[in-house]
Structure 1
Amino acid sequence: MPHKALLLDRDGVVNVDHGYVGDRSRFVFMDGIFALTRHAMDRGFRIAVITNQSGIARGYFTEAAFLELSGWMRAAFQAQGVELAGVFHCPYHRGGTVGPYVRDSFWRKPNPGMILEAAQRLDLDLARSVLLGDQPTDMEAARAAGVERRVLLSPDAATAAAETATSVIRRLEDLIPALR
């Protein structure tokens, strides 16, 4: 039977969004991310990160640097008792400057490609899963992929993305009671 998942955007959900975070020196975990993901794991959710990384296409950091940072991030989660089932990223952006990455991609949110790939690779039931993001593109991608529960993390509940979200939270801890 396919698994339910908690799908997380990275910048602004897993870590503080300082803009194009490509190394440990700028990576700061969001308050509450470990408690939220431990709670979700304890309730049978697989945890995966779904992240656009146009900083690769723009030349701010390499894909190798992103993968190294992701390995470090996974180890930090593991040290907190959380197993990340996967980290899915889209390095492509048509406005980039690094040749091989300058293009449109079905993986780039708001397209559903990364979510659909995660569902296939991790045997996920998207109808029972939750996507937590902080941007309208996160909500649009989740809706296009068939994720029933789309949660927007926003200090301002009146944001435009609220219309594509199924709920809006102000802090990560606010999602804990809803994960069963």
Structure 2
Amino acid sequence: MQYKALFLDRDGVVNVDHGYVYQPEKFEFVAGVFEACQAFVNAGYKLIIVTNQSGIGRGYYTESDFHVLTDWIIAQFKTHNVDIEGVYFCPHHPKNALPEYLKECMCRKPAPGMLLQGITEHHIDPSQSIMVGDKLSDMQAASKANIATRVLVRSGQAFDASALDAADYVCDSLADVPALLL
């Protein structure tokens, strides 16, 4: 059996992007994120987070720090009766990273690796799935992974025409997405 999924970028979609956040006390959820995610769970979607985390590669924080924060995020969603099925991250950067993380890879968006891994591991039907992101690279990764619907959230930023053209929908935040698609 295949499932439909709501793929979410993290920084700028799930949380306010304060830049390289890795501590729970500095993590600020976007207003309405829990209610929006609950609406998708109620509509039969699995929730999967796919996030570039070059802060690891740059040495700003460790993979262990990332996992501690991720466990805390999952627990916060759980207290709102929302299960996060999977979290995929890319610690690499092609130009600015410590040697072990300095590389071109298939997981860093706009490459589709994290999405494809989630599709395979969670038996996802991309033709019934949605990607919500706040960057052109999120839309490009979704397109390469054949995700049917791509939603660009403004998160307080302006976009050029290429980002707008890559999205099926544009809205202010994840909180607006259920009204658009459900």
The offset of 1:56, in angstroms, is 0.3
Question: Which residue number in structure 1 is paired with residue 48 of structure 2?
Answer: 48
List per-residue Cα deviations over 1:155-175 (Å, max 9, x = no partner).
567543111001101132221
Question: Which residue number in structure 2 is paired with residue 128 of structure 1?
Answer: 128
Distance between the aligned counterparts of 1:124 and 1:140, measured in 2? 18
List per-residue Cα deviations over 1:36-78 (Å, max 9, x = no partner).
1000000000001000000000000001100110000000000
The answer (yes or no) to whether the contact 2:132–2:174 under 8 Å persists in 1 is: no
The offset of 1:134, in angstroms, is 0.3
Return structure 1 stretches of 4+ with deviation > 6 angstroms: none
SS of corresponding position for 1:51: strand
Distance between the aligned counterparts of 2:7 and 2:135, measured in 1? 14
Distance between the aligned counterparts of 1:69 and 1:141, measured in 2? 24
- After the TM superposition, which residues 142-153 of structure 1 pair with which residues of structure 2 at under 5 Å, given as runs? 142-153=142-153
The answer (yes or no) to whether the contact 1:58–1:95 under 8 Å persists in 2 is: no
- After the TM superposition, which residues 16-95 of structure 1 pair with which residues of structure 2 at under 5 Å, given as runs? 16-95=16-95
Q: How many residues in Structure 1 have an aligned counterpart in Structure 2?
A: 180
List runs of 5+ in structure 2 lacking aligned partners.
none
The answer (yes or no) to whether the contact 2:54–2:97 under 8 Å persists in 1 is: no
Distance between the aligned counterparts of 2:105 and 2:21, measured in 1? 21
- After the TM superposition, which residues 161-176 of structure 1 pair with which residues of structure 2 at under 5 Å, given as runs? 161-176=163-178
Percentage of pairs with the same residue: 41
List runs of 5+ in structure 1 lacking aligned partners.
none
TM-score (norm 2): 0.94
Distance between the aligned counterparts of 1:107 and 1:145, measured in 2? 12
Distance between the aligned counterparts of 1:158 and 1:25, measured in 2? 30
Distance between the aligned counterparts of 1:22 and 1:156, measured in 2? 22
List per-residue Cα deviations over 1:137-171 (Å, max 9, x = no partner).
00000001101100000156754311100110113
SS of corresponding position for 1:132: strand
Give, as a single letter, the amino acid of the residue that structure 2 aligns with 1:166: D
The answer (yes or no) to whether the contact 2:14–2:174 under 8 Å persists in 1 is: no
- After the TM superposition, which residues 97-112 of structure 1 pair with which residues of structure 2 at under 5 Å, given as runs? 97-112=97-112
The offset of 1:24, in angstroms, is 1.3
The answer (yes or no) to whether the contact 1:34–1:77 under 8 Å persists in 2 is: yes
The offset of 1:101, in angstroms, is 1.1
The answer (yes or no) to whether the contact 1:94–1:102 under 8 Å persists in 2 is: yes
